[in-house]
Amino acid sequence: MNDIQRAEVARLNRTVDKFAELMKRRLMEKLLKGYSGWDGEHPAGDLCQQIGQDALRIACTGLTDQEISLRSIDIANRAMFLLYRAEVRQEEQFKTGFARIQKVRDAIVQKTKGERGITGDMDCPACGTGRLRYSVARCNGHVHARCSTENCVSFME
């Protein structure tokens, strides 16, 4: 990277940081006004429509700079909602799902103390409300487990 590119990257980073600050401020304003549901359904036609309407307003009418800024921030925030719904939420769910399985597996290993060829049940350490049924295979020690709570853990190794 040359000096001109480095300066441009620094300028872009400063601008994105400033933009992110404005996005956060606007989100807080909306939250305090009672808006919610940003992490809602996916795909979300209404979000795309609102982004389109804001973009059209910027393109077609004689808005003031302040109004253009506001519309731009709203577009960015809605785009962030779309990103969250399409990607980030899945990553979060994957991580928490994986963490749940590990917690359950550890509890089963601790309870069975390495014994194989057994089945049993216990209070689910993941959700705290369900009953967890498990088995440890005699041949290879693989753990199978299923919680009675819907959408809690269910796995076999």
CB nearer to Zn ion: pick between 49 and 119: 119
How near is the Cβ of 104 to Zn ion at its closest, in Å? Answer: 8
Q: What's the CA gap between 99 and 125, in Å, rounded? A: 11
- Work out whether the CA dihedral 28, 32, 35, 38 comes out positive or negative: positive
Task: Kindly identify the residues of this chain, within the stretch 52-111, that bind Zn ion according to CB under 5 A.
Answer: none
Options 18-26, 47-55, 90-98, 128-136: segment touching Zn ion (CB under 5 A): 128-136
Task: State yes or no: residue 152 binds Zn ion (CB under 5 A).
Answer: yes
Tokens at 81, concatenated: 């909602």
Of positions 124, 134, 136, 146, contacts Zn ion by CB under 5 A: 124
Options 3-11, 12-20, 65-73, 120-128: segment touching Zn ion (CB under 5 A): 120-128
Give the residue from 39, 69, 42 showing the smallest Cα distance to 54: 69
Contacts (Cβ under 8 Å, ≥6 apart) of 152: 100, 124, 126, 127, 130
The angle at the Cα of 35, spanning 74 to 19, to the nearest 5 degrees, equals 30
Give the residue from 33, 23, 14, 18 showing the smallest Cα distance to 75: 23
Options 19-27, 44-52, 58-66, 118-126: segment touching Zn ion (CB under 5 A): 118-126
CB nearer to Zn ion: pick between 15 and 110: 110
How near is the Cβ of 151 to Zn ion at its closest, in Å? Answer: 9
Task: State yes or no: residue 27 binds Zn ion (CB under 5 A).
Answer: no
**Site for Zn ion, rule CB under 5 A:** 124, 126-127, 130, 147, 149, 152
